[in-house]
Amino acid sequence: MIVIARGAAVDHFVRWVNDLEDTRTKAEFYPNLGKDKLLGDYIAAKSGHSRGSTIDLTLVDAKGKELDMGSPFDMFDTLSNTDDPRISAEQKANRYKLKSLMTEAGFAPYSMEWWHFTYQPQAYPATYFDFVVE
């Protein structure tokens, strides 16, 4: 079991981004960008995730298999943009199904990451929580 504080998880992610020597996951998560380009558009030093308003998710079928979204979850690349022209019609339909479900529930999409949504209006727009999650 891993126990981590939510704010601490974001802090860990920022430390990882700033460690330019650690490129073990480059091929999988940021194949076309330098790690020094991730902070900002892709990784926030202060995240909506820590405000309790932002969620990353995908869709699965009835058997629990993830639907094909055209890029892996957390892949920092233009291929992960909701409307990237390189994805297939099926992948685009899957992304738009997720987007539609989430916007109908009050969440705003982030166009650079098909999996990232923020509830609107945010209940705590200026508060960053730091609590243990198991």
Q: Residue 39: name the closest of 27, 49, 30, 28 by CA.
A: 30
What percentage of the chain carries pLDDT values higher than 90? 71
pLDDT of residue 78 exceeding 60: yes
Q: What mean pLDDT, rounded, does the chain reach?
A: 91
Catalytic member of 66, 90, 104, 113: 113
Q: What is the pLDDT of residue 5?
A: 55
Q: Domains (ranges, CATH) in the chain?
A: 4-133 (3.30.1380.10)
- The predicted model scores a pTM of 0.87
Q: Residue 50: name the closest of 117, 110, 5, 1 by CA.
A: 5
CB 37 within 8 A of CB 112: no
113 in active site? yes
Strand, helix or coil for residue 97: helix
Segment 104-125 shows an average pLDDT of 96
